[in-house]
Amino acid sequence: MIEVQDLTKSYGAVTAVDHVSFTVNKGEILGFLGPNGAGKTTTMRILTGYMPATHGTARVAGFDVFRDSMEVRRRIGYLPENPPVYPDMTVETYLDFVARIKNVPAERRPARIDDALRKTNLEDRRSELIKRLSRGYKQRVGIAQALVHDPEVIILDEPTVGLDPKQIIEVRNLIKSLAGNHTIILSTHILPEVSMTCDRVVIINKGKIAAVDTPQNLTSQLKGGQKIRIETDAPEKPLRDMLAQIPGASRVVIEPARAGGHQAVTVEAAQGNDIRNQIAAKIVEHGWPLYELHGVSLSLEDIFLELTTDDAAHAQASS
């Protein structure tokens, strides 16, 4: 449904999106995950025809986003980073305006507006002026606007920003319910959001794609690799030296003891290499008190940090 090839966008000297390629299948939900300034918004703006790419192509439903922009725009519902609302309009007149410029025929408009209001829980606010709505409600009006013409493709730039926890769950459920009939791209920097709603994830950092996979695969890809958590009151320096000698151990983080607790150590172990027994043996050998030692599999959060922090990117590239 959506094919992005070699997409590049430069703002003067800044390359916001750097040779990005990915595809989204019909009916799929793709999560666009990346830290601030990664290039998520820029990519979405190119896909929706808001601005042209510097290089590369993007197609939506077979139409080039630049050359057949009108065809693409007819098929897309788009929630920009800031909800594009007119403060002086009521929710209903605003949705009516959007339905008109999205070419919804007059006879279908009332039903489409009702549907969008119902899906975003705005029915009781339909006659309210948008400027009197809170941030979260404005965000919901922004989402309703993206749905009102029942588009094939829905592109949502950080749809859950500004919503309360209950609304976040409702919006996630809404997005999941839209999948199948609609192809959806959403961007976020909230990790659980991706594993909860998306079929596939594109992790983007500094304009480059760091990984494309299902949330399950991304998690299990590094599951063999383990994080080991140790509680021991060993002196820091000898402890570090000892861990450095164990093959496969890396990224040692030592948190000093809190009142009434113990010093906590986390170590990452390479894939398929269980080093828990070796660590335990060494600690006992040194005669340090050992209170706890257990393995934790890496979460999506760890993978994300690994893929998007600089030294990890290095490790990734050299491995």
Ligand X SMILES: Nc1ncnc2c1ncn2[C@@H]1O[C@H](COP(=O)(O)OP(=O)(O)OP(=O)(O)O)[C@@H](O)[C@H]1O
Dist. CA 294–CA 82, nearest whole Å: 44
Q: Which does 291 bind (CB under 5 to 8 A by kind): ligand X, another protein, Mg ion, none?
A: none
Q: How many residues bind another protein (CB under 8 A)?
A: 29
Smallest CA-to-CA distance from 58 within 11, 19, 31 is with 19
Q: How many residues bind ligand X (CB under 6 A)?
A: 13
Dist. CA 215–CA 29, nearest whole Å: 12
- Three-state DSSP string of 82-124: CCCCCCCCEHHHHHHHHHHHCCCCHHHHHHHHHHHHHHCCCHH
Tell me the closest approach of the beta carbon of residue 266 to ligand X, in angstroms. Answer: 28
Q: Tell me the per-residue interface mask from 63 to 102 with Mg ion, x by CB under 5 A, - otherwise.
A: ------------------x---------------------
Query: Is residue 37 part of the contact set for ligand X (CB under 6 A)?
Result: yes
Residue 204 · residue 213 · CB < 8 Å = no
**Which residues, numbered 235-264, are part of the site for another protein (CB under 8 A)?**
none
Backbone angles phi, psi at 210, to 5 degrees: -95, -30
Closer to another protein at the Cβ: 89 or 264? 89
Closer to another protein at the Cβ: 71 or 114? 71
> Which distant-in-sequence residues (6+ apart) come within 8 Å of 83 by Cβ?
138, 139, 141, 142, 145
Strands in 151-288 per DSSP E = 153-157, 183-188, 200-205, 208-213, 226-232, 249-255, 264-269
DSSP-assigned states of every residue in 105-173: -GGGHHHHHHHHHHHTT-GGGTTSBGGGS-HHHHHHHHHHHHHTT--SEEEEESTTTT--HHHHHHHHH
Query: Is residue 159 part of the contact set for another protein (CB under 8 A)?
Result: no
Q: Which does 16 bind (CB under 5 to 8 A by kind): another protein, Mg ion, ligand X, none?
A: ligand X
Q: Tell me the per-residue interface mask from 131 to 170 with ligand X, x by CB under 6 A, - otherwise.
A: ----------------------------------------
Q: Which does 42 bind (CB under 5 to 8 A by kind): Mg ion, ligand X, another protein, none?
A: ligand X
Neighbours of 14 (CB within 10 A): 11
- Distance separating the N- and C-terminal Cα atoms of the chain: 33
Q: Binding Mg ion by CB under 5 A: which of 41, 167, 183, 205?
A: 41
Q: Binding another protein by CB under 8 A: which of 35, 68, 92, 97?
A: 97
Query: Is residue 53 part of the contact set for ligand X (CB under 6 A)?
Result: no
Residue 61 · residue 35 · CB < 8 Å = no
Tell me the β-bridge partners of 290.
232
> Mapping DSSP to helix (H, G, I), strand (E, B) and coil, where does residue 186 land?
strand
Query: Is residue 40 part of the contact set for ligand X (CB under 6 A)?
Result: yes
Q: By CB under 8 A, which span of 32-40, 91-99, 170-178, 215-223 interacts with another protein?
A: 91-99
**Which residues, numbered 74-93, are part of the site for ligand X (CB under 6 A)?**
81
Q: Binding another protein by CB under 8 A: which of 3, 27, 68, 74?
A: 74
* Tokens 């975003």 belong to residue: 120
Tell me the closest approach of the beta carbon of residue 269 to another protein, in angstroms. Answer: 47
Q: Which residues make up the interface to ligand X (CB under 6 A)?
A: 11, 14, 16, 34, 36-42, 81, 189
Q: Which residues make up the interface to another protein (CB under 8 A)?
A: 45, 48-52, 70, 73-74, 76, 78, 80-89, 93, 97-98, 100-103, 145
Q: Which residues make up the interface to Mg ion (CB under 5 A)?
A: 40-41, 81
